[in-house]
A and B are shown apart, each in its own frame.
Chain A
Amino acid sequence: MAEVRQPIESGVPDHVQYLHPLMKKNYGSWKRHDRPRPGVLHHVAKGGDEIWTVKAGTQRQMDVYTIRTLCDIADKYAEGHVRFTTRSNIEFMVSEESKVAPLIDALGKDGFPVGGTGNSISMIAHTQGWLHCDIPGTDASGAVKALMDELHEEFIREEMPNRVKLSTSCCAINCGGQADIAIVIQHTKPPKINHDMVANVCERPSVVARCPVAAIRPALVNGKPSLEVDEKKCICCGACFPPCPPMQINDPEHSKFAIWVGGKNANARSKPTFHKMVAAGIPNNPPRWPEVSAIVKKILAVYKEDARAWERLSDWIDRIGWPRFFEKTELPFTKYLIDDWRGSRSSLNASTHIRF
């Protein structure tokens, strides 16, 4: 037997070796920052050192040519150190203000938009989709590319009331995460079961246990041990599909997008909030998903017009109320938007607080 290599279980590497020298020197002793223009941060250390950061959008899923281009720019126009944000923007750090403009030019020439700072619309946090996921209802990179093309102007400017964070997810598990606006594909029909396969592929008790609404039970179908779904109870969440692929949840015709608004992870002003569903039944229409973009752009336009400075989407809705949100965005408020999941009564209006 060939000799096998034991892994070096080194864990998380030491970050200090990759820090820009000024970040290493002033680690933990920064004083303040400002934003000289959209896409640029200027930090001042307690000791007086200054560092400029130029932020640019990327496609997240990057080919080596793109990464090498970014490295070439970092070596030629910046100082060889970069970092990525949680929304897959790349940041270049420089120690002199005079390097900022040429760096921005170089990024622009190679097609990287500079922005994403302050009260802009930043890059969309997203999932894998058809490119790599095993339970995707749609693509992620493509939907994000199509939408960021349309939101590009708001990425490179700082003209929104406050920062806007978006996410997309290719199933209701919502790996893309909470956001001011989240775009989530939703399965709308129960799984179609291939009964010939279930006994061989699935550990049936754990599939039964996985269902959030206890809609799955063991059954004998055509003489074979299988599973059956109470289709009236089923909420089409897809949780049974990963442990039991013969319970096919993906359905090209009936997978529809839902749009959620008002998620906020910061503790600033109000406590963190979850996003809320405001639209559903939107068709899954590759390659550019125009129906999704239209609704997202409409919500953003109304928010931009109506919200006050520093109001995140959730702060704005808190002030104007949900009825007016639906009125202004022209989205239909249907009975399906009234929650009936566990704990849902706390989402009902237990008061006479009503705006007229």
Chain B
Amino acid sequence: MAKKMHDTPMLDQLEGGPWPSFVTGLKRLAKDNDMMVDLLGQLETSYETKKGYWKGGTVGVFGYGGGVIPRFTELKGEDGEPLFPAAAEFHTLRIMPPAGMHYDTDILRKFCDVWEKYGSGLIAFHGQSGDIMFQGVSSDNVQPAFDELNEMGFDMGGAGPAVRTSMSCVGAARCEQSCFDEARALRGVVNAYLDDMHRPALPYKFKFKFSGCPNDCVNSIQRADMAVIGTWRDNMQADEALAKQWFAKHGMDELVNDVISRCPTKAITLKEHAKVAKGGNISAVAVSDTHSVEVDNHNCVRCMHCINVMTGALATGNDKGVTILVGGKRTLKIGDTMGTVVVPFMKLEKDEDFEKIIELAGSMIDFFAENALEHERTGEMIERIGVVNFVEGIGLEIDPNMVTHPRTNPYVRMDDWDEEVAKVKQAQASAA
């Protein structure tokens, strides 16, 4: 039996309605947890005054410099004592989930037991960076709670100026559109740079995200310093039985209006069977007794739309790999930036491919550590120094896939233009 509940008339109004209520959850915990009784008291105060009352501080576990988000109450009486003392310390442990956020009930129940024993009993699946957030623990209980979670095979996530916890989509585990083993790539890259996660010493945060296809279900272009997105470079695959089945169900209007006319590069055409083009870059599939859909794969930009609409009938190619973009981030401080292409295509199948992407990630972290200003993200650094300096700095080749269009102004020194031309020609000759 916990201490007496505070009145919470504002929060009470979030208990009704059809969506699951976190307030009802907090109240259930408060029945035998003083921390939750007082947390409800402080939260109700915030609802009344429209002010937040948490400040940060320094709390951690032995051996690591980050991963705990410390929260101390600032809601104090005139005597300087906390008004809600049982929730005066309400820290969060960020714990890294398995890639794809898969669990069995056994491990979830164990999480509950640990958090009931040491913490508030409130767990968020998941934070915006992908951490399991064990929310609400006193300073004294941070270490024992972490120790038990750590013994269960789980490790601290990132916080502060560090490599951060990563995310990948469900991917190869249950999606036909997956173009690489997202979870293996995530685990390989992040686990190679745990030192930069657990001992924060970078200019600012660095995030990796892994999406299996250009639908980018983990929002990597907009949120990741290094976004790894599955793609393919051969022809789209097609299945005639499924294509005919789709057409029989959806008809000509939907084929034309929802598939063909929505192709961003007009790479899809509808043709009578006899008129279908021949050639190495053409995929074609019959949708009816008279007509086929023809795809000009050289002009397909792998946007995924037609595959999303006609799943199974159209599919990704077989020569799969990844595109890598760099520099996505949220608003602070120069405004939002998208990631931009630095590797148009690389294979990611064999052990040495995975070693290569781990090395590439390392060279990006190193370049960031050496060249970014304090509190500057990779995207901001690139804006300041220019993408060419970044690309050359990490040892990648310049490629026209990196731009939407070439330069539109003449304000540039081009002293070694001839040498650069010679380099391009030499590269073309050795590739031929």
Contacts and interface: CB of A to CB of B under 8 A. Distances in A.
Contact of B109 (A71, A90, A268, A274): A71
Given A31-B312, A272-B221, A284-B50, A212 B333 contact: yes
Given A64-B123, A67-B111, A152-B18, A53 B25 contact: no
Nearest to A178: B222
Nearest to A274: B336
Contacts of A149: 16-19
A270 B334 CA distance: 24
A59 B25 contact: yes
B59 interface: no
Interface residues of B, number: 129
A20 B96 CA distance: 20
Interface residues on A, range: 35 or more
Interface stretch (A11-19, A219-227, A324-332): A11-19
A100 to B, nearest CB: 15
Contacts of B354: none
Given A286-B47, A310-B262, A23 B174 contact: yes
A15 B190 CA distance: 14
Contacts of B55: 134, 245
A95 interface: no
Interface in B135-151: 135, 143, 146-147, 150-151
Given A60-B124, A62-B25, A177-B330, A272 B105 contact: no
Nearest to B132: A84
A302 to B, nearest CB: 21
Given A12-B166, A152-B18, A269 B303 contact: yes
Given A131-B43, A134-B52, A287-B47, A67 B187 contact: no
Contact of B105 (A44, A80, A129): A80
Contact of B174 (A53, A125, A308): A53
B396 interface: no
A323 interface: no
Nearest to B91: A132
A83 to B, nearest CB: 5
A206 B204 CA distance: 13
A268 B301 CA distance: 10
A113 B150 contact: no
Given A15-B100, A145-B19, A269-B262, A133 B54 contact: yes
Given A15-B98, A64-B115, A268 B335 contact: no
Counting from the closest, the 10 A-B pairs by CB-CB distance are A32-B312, A149-B17, A252-B50, A63-B25, A11-B191, A130-B46, A15-B98, A267-B214, A148-B19, A71-B105
Interface of A: 4-15, 17-20, 23, 27-28, 30-34, 43-44, 51, 53, 57-68, 70-71, 74-75, 80-86, 88, 90, 93, 111-113, 125, 127, 129-139, 141-142, 145-146, 148-149, 152, 172-178, 206, 209-210, 212, 237, 239, 242, 245, 250, 252-253, 255, 263, 265-270, 272, 274, 284, 286-288, 308-310, 341-343
15 contacts: A7-B64, A23-B102, A30-B174, A58-B125, A82-B105, A86-B126, A111-B18, A129-B52, A134-B56, A142-B47, A145-B17, A145-B19, A174-B331, A178-B336, A206-B374
